Amino acid sequence: MFNYFSCMSTSSLLFLISVLGIFLNQKNILVMLMSLEMMFLAISFNFIFSSIHLDDVVGQIFSLLILTVAAAESSIGLAILVVYYRIRNTITVELMNFMKG
């Protein structure tokens, strides 16, 4: 049922798509956050597939940990986003350039 290489390629593809989602998206910060979540997802998938393939439980433990970390991270990120929106009334990425060097 689990063809290892197809699973790996799926998760890698997912990772690549999410990287491209961050990379190519120039406008919306929500999409970037979602892509970030997708990266976590891809990595979790990878851990789980590897754990099954290698018959080792550590990978699944890690994926559970990543799940919690990702949840915490997305909640903090969304909270920051909300604070940001409350102050500036916009969440457009292009206008976030106060930290110019």
Partner 1 sequence: MYLLILILPLVGALISGFGGRLLGYKGANIFSIFCILLTTFLSFLVFYEIGFSGTTCYIFLSSWVNSGILTISWSFLFDSVTSIMLIVVTSISSLVHIYSVKYMETDPHRPRFMAYLEIFTFFMLVLITADNLVQMFLGWEGVGLASYLLINFWYTRLAANQSAIKALIVNRVGDFGLSLGILTIFWIFNTVDYATIFSLTPLFENYFLYFLGIEFHGITLIGIFLFIGAVGKSAQLGLHTWLPDAMEGPTPVSALIHAATMVTAGVFLLIRFSPLIEFSSTILFVLILFGSLTAFFAAMTGVFQHDLKKVIAYSTCSQLGYMVFACGMSCYDVSLFHLTNHAFFKALLFLSAGSVIHAVSNEQDMRRMGSLSKFLPLTYSLMLIGSLALAGFPFLTGFYSKDFILELTQTLSYSNLNSTYIAFACWLGNLSVFFTAYYSFRLIYLTFLNNTNLNRISYKLVHESTFLMSLPLIILGFGSLFVGYLLKDLFIGLGTDFWGPSILILPNHSNFVEAEWLPTLIKWLPFFLSIFGIILANIINLTSISSYIFHKFIKINSFFAFLTNKKWYWDILYNRLIVLPTLSFGYIISFKILDRGFIELLGPYGLTKLIPNWSQLILKLQTGQITHYLFFMILGLCFFSVSIIVNFTNYFHLFGIFFILFFFV
Q: Which residues bind partner 1 (CB under 8 A)?
A: 19, 22-23, 25-26, 29, 32, 93-94, 96-101
Distance CA 3, CA 21 (A): 27
Compute, in degrees rounded to 10, the torsion defined by CA atoms 27, 28, 34, 39. Answer: 20
Distance CA 44, CA 51 (A): 10
Cβ proximity to partner 1: between 16 and 66 the closer is 16
Cβ proximity to partner 1: between 55 and 94 the closer is 94
Cβ proximity to partner 1: between 18 and 63 the closer is 18
Task: State the minimum distance, in angstroms, from the CB of residue 32 to partner 1.
Answer: 8
